[in-house]
Amino acid sequence: MEKNIIIITDYAAPYEGNFIASIKALEKVAKNKNYKMKFLFSKRAMNIEWVTKFSAQYDVDFFDEGIFDVIKILSKSMKEGVENILYSHFARHKTQVAIKIFKMVRRNFRLVQHFHNHCKIPKKFPKKQLMELAYRLYEGDLNIGCSESVMKSMPYNPRKNVFVNNAIDFSRLSENNDINKIKNQKKEFIILMFGFDYYRKGVDIAINAVKNIADEKKIILVISLASNYERIENIIKGEFQKIPDWIKLLPANENVSEYYNMADIFLSSAREEGFCYSLVEATYCGTRCISSKIGGVPLDIPGIISFESENIEDLKNKILWSLENNENKLEEAKKYIVEKYDLNKWAEEVMKKLED
């Protein structure tokens, strides 16, 4: 029997990143098993350069964000007389509602939901009960977490919950020897972080940990912003009246290894992570990492320095320690990463889950 996988996503990042690289790897595995794969993107993504190139190579369609528009394109994408699998990633609330309404009307397909962030349920009545009901309504035939921590947060039937650790596109992480030479010659100690979400990514935590030691220790906190540049800039200006000399804001860089290779330390001070790609990437590139101890962070990677989540004093002490100590487990860590986070391995594991 012909088999049909429909991937629907609200993903609209400026660059392909590891997610799209993973989906491409999955398409190859699926093709070898005689599955046809169709991709449904929100029209918000239609004019992004990588989406245009992607559309020229794969079977792609676009949907408006209204509930009935999503239902319409789902109906159009389903094939009669074949095994249909609807596989969602980064689905917004409206998209999820549309999928569930469609599932009530047309039951003869398998719904697989991939979660890239933790499922959060409030603790107080009645929000707790309402959120639990909403999650039950959204339950898929299979629910995949991007990490074990995310899987454990999913309030669904445990028999329907699995996890597959995210994968890394190592081809994006080319080495840059010229930047390494510059790094060895510079006087500042550069701490790099990604901070498009000021609170969730813990930008405030990083700033408060660094501000009293930046001048004395010649620390530069570099914050890369894939979005919300002006908003983050205004928040920092609101605290300091200007952007301090020890803070540098940079736009996202498709060649992300240039940023990793520039830094002495990569910092993840996040309060929430489904799976922290950047810690894996930075370590692979040979950059030491400091991270908050939270679910979704791969603290099992050799050499990662961790601090208690939201503990500014602990983070400051770990930064000061890293200035004086250069414990090097990077070769061991790189070997570990290559074995655990391979794209093809991820694609094969996901395909097995889809076929079970």
- Greatest alpha-carbon pair distance for the chain in Å reads 70
pLDDT of residue 177: 46
Q: Which two tokens stand for residue 30?
A: 């699926």
Arithmetic mean of pLDDT over the chain: 93
* Token pair in block for residue 159: 């028999």
Same fold flag, 3-167+342-355 and 170-339: yes
Whole-number Å distance between alpha carbons of 307 and 265: 14
- What's the rounded mean pLDDT across residues 167-172? 93
pLDDT value of residue 356: 85
- The model's pTM is 0.89
pLDDT at 57: 97
CATH dotted code for 3-167+342-355:
3.40.50.2000
Task: Report pLDDT for 6.
Answer: 98
Mean pLDDT, rounded, for 290-316:
96
Q: Could you name the CATH architecture of 170-339?
A: 3-Layer(aba) Sandwich (3.40)
Give the residue-averaged pLDDT of 95-99.
94
Each residue of 227-240: pLDDT tens digit? 999 999 999 999 99
Half-sphere exposure at residue 209, Cβ-oriented, CA atoms within 13 angstroms: 27
pLDDT attached to residue 136:
81
Q: Does pLDDT of 180 surpass 60?
A: no
Say what the pLDDT of residue 179 is: 46
Asked which of 68-72, 87-91, 328-332 is least confident by mean pLDDT, the reply is 328-332
List of residues 6+ apart from 29 with CB closer than 8 A: 344, 347, 348, 351
State the pLDDT confidence band at 123, using cuts at 50, 70 and 90.
confident
Does residue 196 carry a pLDDT above 80? yes
Pairing of strands 35-42, 60-63: parallel
Looking at residues 299-317, what average pLDDT do you find? 96
Q: Which helix (H) or strand (E) holds 281?
A: helix 277-284
Domain ranges of the chain: 3-167+342-355, 170-339
pLDDT tens per residue, range 246-283: 999 999 888 899 999 999 999 999 999 999 999 999 99
Tens of pLDDT along 82-93? 999 999 999 998
The predicted structure's pLDDT at residue 175: 57
Q: Which two tokens stand for residue 286?
A: 């040979």
**How confident is the model over 20-61, as pLDDT tens digits?**
999 999 999 999 999 999 999 999 999 999 999 999 999 999
Tokens of 79: 């094939």
- Lowest mean per-residue pLDDT among 98-102, 103-107, 141-145, 197-201: 103-107
Q: In a 10 Å sphere around its CB, with 0-12 CB exposed, 13-18 middle and 19+ buried, how is residue 142 labelled?
A: buried
* pLDDT(178) > 50: no
pLDDT of residue 181: 45
Examine the pLDDT at 182 and tell me if it is beyond 50. Answer: no
Q: What is the pLDDT of residue 312?
A: 98
